[in-house]
Each structure stands twice: as structure tokens, then as C-alpha cells.
Amino acid sequence: MKDWLDEIHWNADGLVPAIAQDHKTGRILMMAWMNRESLALTVRENRAIYWSRSRGKLWRKGEESGHLQKVHEVRLDCDADVIVLQVEQLGGIACHTGRESCFYRVFEDGAWKVVEPILKDPDAIYHAGHRHE
């Protein structure tokens, strides 16, 4: 039997981009990277686990913030090089800035405009110096 992980077209660094999308609203919450281990663990544990390129280790979404992502479905695109996770975002905050989504800026009149409120102060979410999510 073919290993389902072998069907994914991993990049030169052994990673694949993963988009987290709210399973109810369809809102794009964030994008992060996954390696074979993080994707296999995500499927096994039914929670989003990514690969942190900056830290060079597995990143269990919510391990510091408490804002876990419960996975409802995992999809692979037609070119087998992008993953979409349908998730339930616990706490309603996916971004380390304290916003619902990482995509909170809109290009208007030649500049990036912030169009979403901070739902919770990042300093109240993270311990000092641990803003990696």
C-alpha cells in the first residue's frame, strides 16, 4: 500500500504550506509550514501541528497561547503541494497579534490598512519573549 505522505509534493526543504481555514465560516485564519512528521501527527492527534522554520522544531498550535486548532478535515490540492486544514479555532484567535486571523491587513490606496481589531492583548496571551505563534 502506498504511503499517503509520499503522495505529497514536499518542497526542497521537505515542507508543504498548510492553510488553516475555519470549518464553519470558511475564513482563512493563517498559513504555516508542515513537514512529514507534523502532518502525520496532525492527522493522528486531530489538532494542528506545524513545523516552525525559525525554531527548527514541531510547533503544536496553541501550546503557548491555549488557542488550539481542532482539525475537522485535511485536504490536498490538485498539484499535491498545498494542504488546507478545516479547523475549529479554540478561543477564536489564530494570530499571535491577538486577532482572529493573520490576514488582517487590506491593500487600499497604495498602503496596507489594518481592518481588524485585536481581540486580546498579545502580552496577556503569551509569556514574555514567547510570541512564536
The answer to the question of whether 22 is labelled as a binding residue is no
The answer to the question of whether 79 is labelled as a binding residue is yes
Query: 45 Cβ partners below 8 Å, 6+ apart?
Result: none
The tally of CA atoms less than 13 A away on the side-chain side of residue 4 is 8
pLDDT value at position 131?
Answer: 47
The answer to the question of whether 6 is labelled as a binding residue is no
Sequence spans of domains, the chain: 4-92
The answer to the question of whether 13 is labelled as a binding residue is no
3-state secondary structure of 105: strand
Question: Dihedral of the CA atoms 47, 22, 89, 34 (nearest 10)?
Answer: 40
Q: What would be the CATH architecture of the domain defined by 4-92?
A: Roll (3.10)
Q: What is the pLDDT of residues 74-107, one digit of tens each?
A: 999 999 999 999 999 999 999 999 999 999 999 9
Q: What is the pLDDT of residues 26-47, one digit of tens each?
A: 999 999 999 999 999 999 999 9
